[in-house]
Structure 1
Amino acid sequence: MNASVHAIPETALREVLASAVPELHRHCRDPWMVIGSAAARLAGAEVVVADLDVLTSVRDAEALIRHWQARRDDTYVPRGEERFRSCFARFRFPGLPVEVMGGLELCGERGWEPVRVDRVVTLDAGGLAVPIPAAAEQIRVLESFGRPKDLQRAALLRRLSEERQ
């Protein structure tokens, strides 16, 4: 499904999308998608975007780490290691940092499980094809994360989905 984002919000988000998305299309061999606050914002939720979270395969995360080595922020340590694990790296890009999570897993009641997204939509964001989880998938994933910021984003997306029906 293709959807259109007529005006990409915030200059910083526009900048990072313009810099990172073409590179992601060029260097990722497996499906990838933008998740987190940027995906919620692109879907229309009024959320603050602090970075561009990209869900990839482990293979693609390793390739991006090699390719973007000069951009890597080795000083950043993500929070939540007790609940999340992945082939992770944070990179400096114009506008916002890019965080790549290869093979993201979440520790829940049944132990470590892969974070899966079953339905992806591709948005046209300023002429760039940006894959994000469908709204229902974003809500499910954000609720599974369980952090207050994720639950707030899920609630905003749920309200937005209800308003559009």
Structure 2
Amino acid sequence: MLHDQMIDEPLERLRAAARRTRELALNRAATGLGHEDADDEVGTFGTDDALGFDPFPLLEALHRHGARAVVIGQVAGIMHGSAELTGDLDLLWDGAPAHAPALAAAFAAVGARLGDETGAPLATRPGSFLRPKVRFTSPGAGGDCCTPALPWGGLHVQGCLDRAITTVDAGGLEVRYVSREDLIRMRRALGRPKDLRRAAELEASKQRRPGSQASEDTSAK
């Protein structure tokens, strides 16, 4: 029964994963590495960004300011049931100039700092978000904030925004996150060891979900 409840509660699953990340990283020696330094096997869980990891202040700010960013990356994976922990929060938005002010206001509200792809500082203002990718750090989480202009291995990511899932918790927090199928496509397009491993995990869990063809075939035996 608990497993069924968790499937229906992606934000509660994310809260539990964030708590577990903080617990495991609590007594770990600092490395000086951030999310931009993560290796292709372990990911950001192995960096200092796992220390104090909490994506909810930024997710709540995005909700309050009406910024329609979509959660991607391993945070979305966790919301879909991935068992792997992470230390960063990656976001995708449509890149429309009219939507940039809400995004900038949300990031400013949590005291986020922005940088370009080389790490050079950027002001936390709407124009900074119009780049294909902006790096950010905030007290709870760092990561990348991307637009569809960022090359993604030939994948058309605009469609990922159109198919995003919306979930709302008991407190009214609304979060949009990429669909399982699109996240698998994004993982396979990137092709790093951690992406292929996590894509395989999501694919396997999809096959075990009630109502899937594989699940029906297994139950029929």
Q: TM over 0.5, yes or no? A: yes
**Is 1:71 paired with 2:108?**
no
**Is 1:162 paired with 2:207?**
yes
**Deviations 1:87-127 (CA, angstroms, capped at 9, x unpaired):** 41312132x22431133422546xxx652304221234564
SS in 2 for 1:123: strand
Contact 1:106 1:145 (8 Å CA) reproduced: no
Q: In the alignment, which residue of structure 1 is the partner of 2:144?
A: 99
**Deviations 1:53-82 (CA, angstroms, capped at 9, x unpaired):** 01112234575347635521549847xxxx
SS in 1 for 2:187: helix
Flag the structure with higher helix content. Answer: 2
Letter aligned with residue 37 of structure 1: Q
> Cα RMSD (Å) of the superposition?
3.1
Contact 1:68 1:91 (8 Å CA) reproduced: no
Flag the structure with higher strand content. Answer: 1
Letter aligned with residue 90 of structure 1: F
Q: In the alignment, which residue of structure 2 is the partner of 1:142?
A: 187
SS in 2 for 1:50: coil
Q: Name which structure has the greater RCO, CA cutoff 8 Å, separation 6+.
A: 1
Find 2:72's aligned residue among 35, 48, 64.
Answer: 35
Contact 2:113 2:137 (8 Å CA) reproduced: yes
Pick which of 126-135 and 63-72 moved more.
63-72
Contact 1:61 1:101 (8 Å CA) reproduced: no
Q: For 1:64 and 1:88, how far apart are their aligned partners in 2?
A: 12
**Structure-2-length-normalised TM-score:** 0.56
**Deviations 1:20-69 (CA, angstroms, capped at 9, x unpaired):** 1222123355x421000100011111112120101112234575347635
Point out the structure with max Rg over C-alpha: 2
Q: In the alignment, which residue of structure 1 is the partner of 2:55?
A: 16
Letter aligned with residue 115 of structure 1: V
SS in 2 for 1:25: helix
Q: 1:52–1:92: structure 2 CA closer, same or farther, 3 Å change rule?
A: same
Q: For 1:26 and 1:150, how far apart are their aligned partners in 2?
A: 31
Alignment length, in residue pairs?
151
Find 2:157's aligned residue among 110, 115, 123.
Answer: 115
SS in 2 for 1:48: coil
Contact 2:70 2:91 (8 Å CA) reproduced: yes
SS in 1 for 2:54: helix
Give the unaligned 5+ runs of structure 1: 79-84
